[in-house]
A and B are shown apart, each in its own frame.
Chain A
């Protein structure tokens, strides 16, 4: 199964409301629901209170050194 066309999702999470979301990794999935299920399964090492996924194509680079 070729995965070349699938979306890479950047995964962000936090453990406390007082702390900002920080980058914890990526998942590669075309389907949005599968991306969510897989991110929760893969990055379950911490008791997160929030986890969000951002499709990499939606990211805009402001600075690139």
Chain B
């Protein structure tokens, strides 16, 4: 449960984004950690453990930003929270792990990059630290995407299916393209770009990455915003 003071639309949007960022990083850390004993290679198992540690650390350092903005969260968010549904439960296979690494981590990190010069200074500080560590996550995701795409057959098909599933859920996370609170947040320098731009960056990166392997992927702009939960961003 979250307690917030009445606030303007831009700050309300940022509170939602920051709280949800922390919830999703916490869940992503748990999902990565579950593969630390069962990744296809011992090297990637250790990398999964390291990435889990990073994500849990990012969550722990992001929650206090809410407190600095006057929000009190009553629950132990590392055990609860409201993450994206695609990472609420254990990832069923390694291509799911890689799809989460690409899409969920990709969307969250692209948002964090847009907050690097945020007028909310505690957020900007954390963003710079998080981005230092996320470079390794991106390299891991890219390398495994190339490997699974090159493997062809069932491996490639499953990766593409998992990417489509992750995108359908995670692409909604930044929110509708015309969200007035997000627009105000950009105008106030809280973030440098809006939800459509965040999706565009991830779409362009991933499309080019897979295109280089001869694989076509279509990552559509979310069209249906009915049932959109603005607080939990899903």
Given contacts A1-B40, A1-B41, A3-B41, contact A31 B46 (CB under 8 A): no
Q: What is the CB-to-nearest-CB distance from B53 to chain A, in angstroms, rounded to a whole number? A: 9
User: What are 30 A-B residue pairs whose CB atoms fall within 8 Å in the complex?
Assistant: A3-B41, A27-B43, A28-B41, A28-B43, A29-B43, A31-B143, A31-B146, A31-B147, A33-B139, A33-B142, A33-B143, A34-B43, A34-B44, A34-B47, A34-B144, A34-B147, A37-B47, A37-B136, A37-B139, A37-B140, A37-B143, A38-B44, A38-B46, A40-B50, A40-B136, A41-B49, A41-B51, A42-B43, A42-B46, A44-B50
Confirm or deny: A36 has a beta carbon within 8 angstroms of a beta carbon on chain B: yes
Say what secondary structure dominates the interface of chain B: helix
**Nearest CB in chain B to that of A34: its residue:** B143
* Bound CA–CA A31/B151 (angstroms): 13
Which residues of B does A touch, CB under 8 Å? 40-41, 43-44, 46-47, 49-51, 136, 139-140, 142-144, 146-147
How many interface residues does A have (CB within 8 Å)? 17
* Bound CA–CA A42/B133 (angstroms): 15
Q: Could you list 7 further interchain pairs (A-B, Cβ under 8 angstroms) beyond the known A27-B43, A33-B140?
A: A31-B146, A31-B147, A33-B139, A34-B43, A34-B47, A37-B139, A37-B140
B136: which A residues are within 8 A, CB to CB? 37, 40-41
**Nearest CB in chain A to that of B139: its residue:** A33
B144: which A residues are within 8 A, CB to CB? 34
A36: which B residues are within 8 A, CB to CB? 139
Give A15-43 interface residues, CB cut-off 8 Å to B. 27-31, 33-38, 40-42
